[in-house]
A and B are shown apart, each in its own frame.
Chain A
Amino acid sequence: MPHVAVTALGVDRPGIVAAVTGVLMRHGGNLEDTAMTNLGGHFAMMLVVEVPDSEGAEALEAALVDEVGGLGLTVAVRPIVEAPPDGPRGKPWAVSLYGADQPGIVHRVAQKLADHQANIVDLSTRVVGPGPEHAYVLLLELSLPASADSDRLAQELATLADELGVEIHLRPDDADVL
Chain B
Amino acid sequence: MIKPVLQLPNRVLATACEPVGALDDRALTVARDLLDTMRSAEHSVGVAAPQIGVSLRVFCVDVTGHRKARTCHGEVVLFDPVVVEASGPEIGREGCMSVPDLTGDVARFTSLHVRGLGLDGEVHDYEVDAFEARAFQHELDHLDGLLFLDRVVADDRVFRRRVYR
A and B together in one complex: yes
**Counting CB contacts under 8 A, is B139 at the interface?**
yes
Residues of A within 8 A of B135 (CB): 178
List 24 interface pairs A-B (beta carbons < 8 Å), by A numbering.
A89-B163, A92-B162, A92-B163, A121-B162, A122-B159, A143-B162, A175-B93, A175-B94, A175-B103, A175-B163, A176-B66, A176-B93, A176-B95, A177-B43, A177-B94, A177-B103, A178-B45, A178-B94, A178-B96, A178-B134, A178-B135, A178-B138, A178-B139, A178-B148
Residues of A within 8 A of B26 (CB): none
Give which listed residue, A90, A121, A124, A178, contacts B160 with CB less than 8 A: A121
Number of interface residues of A (CB under 8 A): 16
In the complex, how many angstroms separate the beta carbon of A138 from the nearest chain B beta carbon? Answer: 14
**Counting CB contacts under 8 A, is B79 at the interface?**
no
Residues of A within 8 A of B120 (CB): none
Residues of B within 8 A of A143 (CB): 162
Residues of B within 8 A of A122 (CB): 159
A-B contact count (CB 8 A): 55
Q: Mark B127-142, 1 if CB is under 8 A from A, else 0.
A: 0000100110011000
Residues of B within 8 A of A175 (CB): 93-95, 103, 159, 161, 163
Q: Is the interface of B mostly helix, strand, loop or mixed?
A: mixed
Q: How far is the CA of A175 from the CA of B43 in the complex (A)?
A: 13
**Counting CB contacts under 8 A, is B46 at the interface?**
yes
State which residues 112-164 of B face A: CB under 8 Å.
Answer: 131, 134-135, 138-139, 148, 156, 159-164
Give which listed residue, A89, A124, A178, contacts B46 with CB less than 8 A: A178
Residues of A within 8 A of B96 (CB): 177-178
State which residues 44-61 of B face A: CB under 8 Å.
Answer: 44-46
Q: Mark B82-116, 1 if CB is under 8 A from A, else 0.
A: 00000000001111110000010000000000000
Residues of B within 8 A of A173 (CB): 93
Q: Mark A4-27, 1 if CB is under 8 A from B, else 0.
A: 000000000000000000000000
